[in-house]
């Protein structure tokens, strides 16, 4: 899953949280892309290495 911007990143983060909580295995990988560092840092479940900051 790829999330663009604030809303996209939050949606991906929630999907990943649900996937981990239910152990459903639906989400294979996630990437969050944003121009705001603070928004990327606010994600709880997307791995740090899968957060892309565009300047």
Please, which contacts does 27-30 make with residues 24 or more away whose CB atoms are closer than 8 Å?
Answer: 27/1, 29/1, 30/1, 30/2, 30/3
For residue 32, give Cα distances in angstroms to 27, 29, 54: 14, 10, 11
* pTM for this prediction: 0.91
Half-sphere exposure of 43 (CA within 13 A, CB side): 33
Confidence grade of residue 10 (pLDDT, cut at 50, 70, 90): very high
Range of the domain at 33: 2-53
pLDDT tens digit string along 19-46? 999 999 999 999 999 999 999 999 999 9
pLDDT of residue 47: 97
Helices of type H across the chain:
5-22, 37-41
Number of domains present in the structure of the chain:
1
pLDDT of residue 53: 98
pLDDT of residue 39: 96
């Amino acid at each position: 899953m790829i999330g663009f911007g604030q809303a996209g990143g939050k949606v991906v983060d929630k999907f990943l949280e649900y996937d981990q909580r239910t152990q459903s295995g639906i989400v294979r990988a996630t990437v969050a892309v944003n121009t705001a560092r603070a928004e990327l840092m606010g994600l709880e479940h997307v791995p740090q290495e899968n957060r892309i900051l565009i300047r």
